[in-house]
Chain A
Amino acid sequence: MANDQIYPYAVARIRMLERSLLTEKNYIQMAEAKTTEEALKILSEAGYGNGNSLGVKEYEEALAAQLAKAYADVAELVSGQRFMDVFLLKNDYHNLKVLIKQDISGVDGSNYLVGGGTVSVEVLKSAFQMKAYDTLPANMAEAVAEAYSVYGKTLSGQMIDIVLDKAAFKDMNATADGSDNNFVKRYMQYVCDLTNLKSFLRIKNMKKTFEMFTLVFVEGGTLGLDSFKTAFNAENPASGFKGTYYEALCENMTKGFTAFEKQCDDYLMLFVKDAKYVSLTLEPMVAYIYARETEVKTVRIILNSKVNNIDPDVIKERLRDAYV
């Protein structure tokens, strides 16, 4: 660690920006708000939407803007570092999925496109319009070609998702491996493992076969396919992960998928929180992005629940841990 490059300016900026992250108190206030409007008022007071009051219809934009700002802030601070792509690539591949499906189904999917990828939405769109996939980065072009060919054989939209998810993880893993920072590498390992654990539970709960799981399994984590196989055939799936980092986490598998998903996010947050005690190297930047992503996710959960009149106590059970 001693030879890691130091970024005093960037970390100091991030520490200042962290002050604007929402706290657990904010979340609870929002969850307990009587109406969606009241929850949105708390949100805009906390800095969303540039201090303008937010309408019920505009909050998605404000959330997207907040996330885009976080990406832009960090990118500006550590230009020349590629670790950011670990976070951005998932947006690219999401857009690719949307565009492929739009192409196949003929239904306009523009509303589902998200900003904040490594390739701008316009470039992606024009590549699809002109069928000039070689204008995309090589890995993406390859993934798109594969998705089309797999779809041609299976005619299954789900296979498109599977192919692109795998490609996304491959790309993200390669980016993390290329980074000289161990925190980034470990973060990515956790993401892979947790993704696999979540797919595992989902497939198990849907009573699908293990073959289905091998299709969606992503490489790059510490848990191998063998542990999943053992767990899959065991009566209590958690027993398959005894002795791994995830032993305690997997005890939650019996509580249902939504609860487990929350536990997974909190688990990753716990790891990321280590960055609070680092004052000069890259870690706080990585942590800040994860903190913002989780915050936006949590706010979206709260607001969507509010719009649908869900009981505050149920909302509170779904809140993710806050970074600050």
Chain B
Amino acid sequence: MEFNGQVFALMGAAMAALAGIGSAIGIGIAGQAASGVVSEDPNKFGQVLVLQALPGTQGIYGLLIAFIILLKVGLLGGGLVDISVSQGAYILAASLPIGLVGIFSAVAQGKAAAAAIMLVGKKPSELAKGMIFTAMVETYAVLALLISFLMINSIVL
């Protein structure tokens, strides 16, 4: 098989999807904290569940970018289009922001979510504040998503 740009393009899609690693770790950390709170007060399940889910968005952003890449290279629409090595490398580069920022921001967000879950455990009325603190981390995942999206959109195949 000839080594061409398609390999890079698919690596780009894979890279974007790796943001899910961060989400899994982040949700795992938050989930442990959530169990700790629920073990003492089962009524808080609903409140802590919302917070636990927050670090999951990075995985979704990664999935979104991966989909866009796959659509762009025609893998989902039947038959890969021909891509030069440099075009493939562009796509790989474009996937880096959401791939890398996704992993690290989701872990960080998981820790913030765990702290917010403990806050809700102690002071249930402060759920909204806990969510805001946790959602702050989201900003950077969204920025990375935006950059990845803009880059891929402007690559002409």
Contacts and interface: CB of A to CB of B under 8 A. Distances in A.
Interface of A: 6-19, 279-280
Given A15-B122, A16-B122, A18-B122, A9 B36 contact: yes
28 contacts: A6-B111, A7-B32, A8-B30, A8-B32, A8-B33, A9-B35, A9-B36, A11-B114, A12-B32, A12-B37, A12-B114, A12-B117, A12-B118, A13-B36, A14-B36, A15-B36, A15-B37, A15-B118, A16-B37, A16-B39, A16-B40, A16-B41, A17-B40, A18-B122, A19-B122, A279-B118, A280-B29, A280-B111
Contacts of A11: 33, 36, 114, 118
Contacts of A10: 36
Contacts of B122: 15-16, 18-19
B121 interface: yes
B29 A6 contact: yes
Most interface-central of B111, B118, B122 (chain A CB within 10 A): B118
Given A279-B114, A279-B115, A280-B114, A16 B32 contact: no
* Residue in B36, B39, B111, B115 with the greatest tally of chain A CB atoms within 10 Å: B36
Contact of A8 (B29, B39, B40, B41): B29
Given A16-B37, A279-B111, 18 more contacts: A6-B111, A8-B29, A8-B33, A9-B33, A9-B36, A11-B36, A12-B35, A12-B36, A12-B118, A13-B37, A13-B39, A14-B36, A15-B37, A15-B118, A16-B121, A19-B122, A279-B118, A280-B115
Contacts of A6: 29, 111
Complex A-B, nearest 6 residue pairs according to Cβ-Cβ distance, in ascending order: A12-B36, A16-B40, A8-B32, A279-B115, A8-B33, A9-B32
Chain B interface mostly: helix
Contacts of B111: 6, 279-280
B91 interface: no
Contacts of B30: 8
B124 to A, nearest CB: 11
Nearest to A18: B122
Contacts of B118: 11-12, 15, 279
A70 to B, nearest CB: 14
A12 B29 contact: no
Contacts of B114: 8, 11-12, 279-280
B41 A12 contact: no
B16 interface: no
Contacts of B115: 279-280
Nearest to B113: A8
A279 B41 CA distance: 19
Nearest to A278: B115
B34 interface: yes
Contacts of A18: 122
Contacts of A14: 36
Contact of B33 (A12, A17, A19): A12
B43 to A, nearest CB: 12
B107 to A, nearest CB: 11
